[in-house]
Amino acid sequence: MSNEPQQNSIFKVIGASSLGTLIEWYDFYIFGSLATIIGAQLFPADAGASALINTLAIFAAGFIVRPFGALVFGRLGDLIGRKYTFLLTLVLMGGSTFLIGLVPSYATIGYAAPILVLILRLVQGLALGGEYGGAATYVAEHAPANKRGFFTSWIQTTATGGLFLSLGIIVVTKNLLGAEVFADWGWRIPFLLSILLVGVSIYIRMKMHESPMFTKLKTEGKVSKNPLKESFSNKANFKMVLLALFGATMGQGVIWYTGQFYAQSFLENTCKVDFNDSRYILL
């Protein structure tokens, strides 16, 4: 029996994986896009520029734990399967985003506000670290060997879609509520709306099955027993890890987040570009 899936199956797998990735990156992006407003809510009114800097530090904390998320959920995927690990990362990511929208301001609970948001951002980062690699693995294990690069590339494309979706919802919400209301409590709405998107993705992913390749490996007892040891003790594998991390991913990350997040902050806070206009420029 062939392990290569039918085309319809491949398209469903790509759709389910890409939708989840889009939603999870949407969750991630709205925090970065609203950093100025969130900083004003989480820190004292007289904090000035330090409020934005501290908020961006909280945002960065999610990136620090992402590699650990990849390690934890990658191993979990080997133990309990890709499907249920997928669901777990999605629930953690979406749940954290929803709860950020409910955290009281500094005026209500003091410094407990930024501490709570920091904890939720760390959970977000862990979940996203597992989600992105898990989605790529899930698609690759379904895809024909000669098309794995092409099919997994759709995941990266939908990550960009998460940015567009987040900016679009933020602009629409602000225009509907007005600048004053949006800065007061309306900024929470994009966070709270994420629960609807997560619900749709959970529904779709519940209908998916384990990849034929993973099922075959598990049946034959060939699933990696110690992936960390295999990755770092083997010279060839370790070389590939270093090349991917420092040769490609690091540079891409600097360009990506400078262009998508710092550029917006620079336009809005330094150049004093209008709130909506700064987001239209990014779009």
What average pLDDT does range 13-28 have in this prediction? 81
CA distance 223 to 140: 16
Q: In the CATH scheme, what architecture does the domain 7-223 have? A: Up-down Bundle (1.20)
CA distance 220 to 172: 52
**Domain positions in the chain:** 7-223, 226-283
Among candidates 283, 279, 10, which has minimal Cα distance to 144?
A: 10
Q: Write the DSSP assignment of 40-97 as a string of letters.
A: HHHS-TT-THHHHHHHHHHHHHHHHTHHHHHHHHHHHHHHH-HHHHHHHHHHHHHHHH
pLDDT 10s digits, 141-169: 888 888 888 888 888 788 788 888 998 99
What is the structure's pLDDT at 231? 65
Give the pLDDT band of residue 4 (cuts 50, 70, 90): very low
Amino acid at 93: M
| pLDDT greater than 60 at residue 5 | no
Percent of the chain with pLDDT over 90: 23
pLDDT 10s digits, 48-100: 889 989 998 998 888 888 878 888 888 887 777 777 887 888 889 889 999 99
pLDDT 10s digits, 179-207: 999 999 999 999 999 899 888 888 888 88
